[in-house]
Each structure stands twice: as C-alpha cells, then as structure tokens.
Amino acid sequence: MTNRISLAHLPTPIEPLPRLTQFLRGPQLFIKRDDLTGLGLGGNKTRKLEFLVADALAKGSQTLVSTGAVQSNHCRQVAAAAAKLGLECWLVLAGQEPETAQGNLFLDKLSHAHVIYTTKNEQEAAIASLMAKLKAADAHPYLIPYGGSNAIGALGYAAAMRELNTQKFQPDWIVFATSSGGTQAGLMLGAHETGFDGRVLGISVDKTAEVFQPFIASLINEAAAKQGLTWRVEPEQVLINSDYCAAGYGVLQPAEVQAIRLFATLEGVLLDPVYTGRAAAGLIDLIRKGFFKPSDTVLFWHTGGTPALFAEPYTSALAF
C-alpha cells in the first residue's frame, strides 16, 4: 500500500455556479474547490504532496527540494508542507529575483524556504548541483518533481476521484487546467477505478496536445501499475485541448482577464492568472462555440493558485 499523510482539508466542496451558467446560457456549471485544500492557502498540489511527502518521510528524508517558476503554486505548497512537518525546504526557481517578494514567492519566504534563482535552461543543472551538495552535507534530500507530477503524485488525484464518487456527483464533463500532467493522470486513473462515465478534459496551459498526450499516458500507466492494475491507456485516450496556450506560459491574455473577472463578479470565486484563468477562458470559449450540450453538467475543477493574483500590479489588465 502506498504511504499517505494528511495535509489537506478534505473533501473539498462542490458548488453550483448559477449566475455564470445563466450568463453563458450553456450547460449547468459547477465547481470543485481545490483552492480550499488549506495548506499554505491551498491548491491541487496539496493532494499530490500527501503521497510524495509520505514517501519522503518513509525514506528518512529531512529536506524537501523542488522546482518551478518564481510564482509557482506548487513550490508554495511544498514550502508549507516542509514547515508543517519540520523539514528543510529548498526551491530552485526559474526567473530573476524580483525587487519585492509578492504572491507565492512571499509565501515561500514566509514558510522559511531557501530559494535559488536560475534560468530555465540551467534549471536542471542547478537542481543536480543542489542535490549533490545536500547529500554531501548529510541533509537527506528528497526531490519532488515539477508540479509534483510523477506516478506517486498522480495518486493524489486518483484519490480525489474516489472522493468525488463519495460525494455522489457525476458530471458529464470535468474541465481543469493541465500543465505538469499529474492532476490529469490521477483524474483519469481515478475515473477508471470508480467507473466514472463522464469525460475528463484538460485545458493545456503551455504544451500542445501532441506533445503532452504521450507523457500523461505514461504517467497514468505507471501510476496504475503502482496500484497493482494491469489497465493501460493510449495517448489518444487523453483528452487535451491546447487551443488556448499559444501565447506561452504565464502570458496573460484578454480572454483570461475576462474569465477571471466573470468568475469574480458573478460567483465571488477568484482564479489565478496562469492556470485556472486560462482553463476558465477555454471553458467559456468552448461553451460559446457549442462544444457542450445544453443538457450537460460540467464540473470546473479549481486547482487553486489564487496567491499569484497578488503578484499582479493594480495597473495591469486585471484592474477595472
């Protein structure tokens, strides 16, 4: 049996979105609030960390190491998990050190994480160098991959689908932001385990479907094997829409600004400018194009990331 520790506030609620549904005149919309998982202001990575950090502790690790962008939601939750459990935390962040730590970076530092800044091209080398130094110092480091997305991390979202099943909610579609792949891999594995007969659609934040589908299929199959399952998927079975990521990672677009505004002003729900903002923009566009049937029930799985909003200047496009 795979190790797991309790870090998240579960189950996260499912809420209707009646005003947004009425405004868009489309399918019935609901939201799964994984922005409320609690750890370090919550988010989807906390579910993955329940398995990843348990594996680290089982191996006697004393230091968590991970990586991401300067405004990484994942790294913020890794730092919070380390603080909660009395572990050291090192974060290798791609980007320049800002003059002022805001948003997720502020919370990293508040959790007393050690931060190393590097370039995207030098990120892997910086991680390797750090791991070597920590091992030499007998710090027993445990490397948590980008986004917590490996076969162990994916088990967090297989468990999330079991949670959804216990909530007796069976939507026709689950729509969410997909980026590092572990959330979608876990959702699809959990869908198989629970007999979920809806569809699981990832809105890509930064990769084309052709590039991303084989990677996620591989994650699903490896995670399934860890569960003792012989079930396997092929890349074409992984549903990804990559029509909305051409601008590049973290480059805020007008449609994303509109989506963030609509969720905030109609439902009081805050989205982030990188992941859920882009996924919501994709969802809204698909509704307007008639992709979903009017009779469909669509669950938007909110993967968190709200603290990244606080790194956006008031003078940005988000301001009224």
Check: CB of residue 279 under 8 Å from CB of residue 175. Answer: yes
Please choose, from the candidates 64, 71, 30, 32, the residue with its C-alpha nearest in 3D space to the C-alpha of residue 49. 64
Q: Is 72 a catalytic residue?
A: yes
Alpha-helical (H) ranges within the chain are 18-24, 45-58, 73-85, 103-110, 123-136, 151-166, 182-194, 209-226, 254-267, 276-288
Neighbours of 116 (CB within 10 A): 16
Q: Is the peptide bond before 11 cis (omega within 30 degrees of 0)?
A: yes
CA angle 157, 178, 148 (to 5 degrees): 55
Of the residues 72, 179, 204, 242, only one is catalytic, namely: 72
Active site residues: 72
